[in-house]
Amino acid sequence: MRDLDAINNPYREDKLVSACSIFGMMNVTGEAFSGEPIFRAMENMHDRGNGLGGGFAVYGIYPDRADCYAFHVMFASQAGRRATEDFLKHDLIIEHSEEIPTRKTEGIANEPCIWRYFAKPKSAMDESALEDHIAAMALRINNEIEESFVFSSGKNMGVFKGVGFPEQIARYFRLEEYEGHIWTAHGRFPTNSQAWWGGAHPFCLFDWSVVHNGEISSYGANRAYLESVGYRCALHTDTEVMAYAIDLLMRRQGLSAEMFANVVAPPLWTEIDRMNDGRRELHIALRAVYGGLLMNGPFAVVIANAKQMIALTDRIRLRPLTAATRGDTLYLSSEEAAIRLVSPDLDEVWTPMGGVPVIGRLGSLPRPEESTLRAQVA
């Protein structure tokens, strides 16, 4: 059978100019909605990608199995599938499994076999330990089982991605049949990494996901830091370090989104020097402890879990990002035009400051002033 690395790049490009499109939409009341507006918004940004990757993360997608961990897994061989199922069954009870429904779609080729497994632990564990265990299982499958790749493993959420334009991926996975209260999306224009099904965005570990436009030039230092605390990078893209930094800082260590931003996109030293004593000491301490997770290079990301959606750019804002609200809905996008297409009459629309996060939480919309003045971020 074909290896997953061979299921890539039908156009055989080597290095391309960076673009990428990112989009996020969240109803802060938790009400689920169709992804149709997201599909239209991504199609409007079609020319920011080149067909070498597209994908979506959806939260609130499996209400009938909300107490199960939903493993979405790609296989390049039946041997990989059997080995993965044996591994999952060792620690988990698989309540249901099925091939993820797809349809033949023009422009989608060389697709792997894609399954989902709804599972519960065999033995009782406290929530934090169980989350660590599920995340570790996904990492072990991706690093130790050949021809198998877990691309999401959280509760009541799922990632759908592959090699193609986003609108093709949406049609291929029949995403018009799903509803969720948070959707994030990505159209890929790869630069330094190959295009393959597992390398498309979103990247996900447990129930945290990230879509990324840009390039993390500090990848080597970031990877070394993350591997020193137990992560293993094997997915052939710089975005992987952002996904693992999110898992380490926000899920495992409980840092807020604001504090996460101060680690990966901190103020410049000239700004820190002008702070009052308490804030200056905080930022110096963050640099001392987490210096290896400072991320250089141009980037804009949209991050999500079941309770929040966050956007962040690099410190000097080398990649575009627009935020907007309408009623109970938060929009995040590479282009304002994509938001206006699906919601012409907005309540608020603004450009966030570099390095300052936009944070939408269940029950709470962000305000423009929160992400246009760094001084308001602790």
Q: In angstroms, how far apart are the furthest CA atoms of the chain?
A: 61
**20 noted as active-site residue:** yes
Cis ω for the linkage preceding 10 (within 30 of 0)? no
- Three-state SS for 141-190 is HHHHCCCEEEEECCECEEEEEECCCHHHHHHHCCHHHCEECEEEEEECCC
Q: Which of 20, 68, 204, 233 is catalytic?
A: 20
Question: What is the Cα–Cα distance from 147 to 10, expressed in whole angstroms?
Answer: 19
Cβ atoms of 316 and 299 within 8 Å: the answer is: no
- Distance in angstroms (rounded) separating the CA atoms of residues 109 and 177: 22
> Rounded distance, CA 15 to CA 124, Å?
48
Closest listed residue to residue 240, CA positions, set 209, 280, 270: 209
What's the start-to-end Cα distance of the chain, in Å? Answer: 52
For the chain, the 3-state helix, strand and coil shares in percent, each to the nearest 5, are: 35, 25, 40
Are 352 and 374 within 8 A, CB to CB? no
Cα-Cα-Cα-Cα dihedral sign, residues 196, 201, 202, 203: positive
Would you name the residues annotated as active-site residues?
20
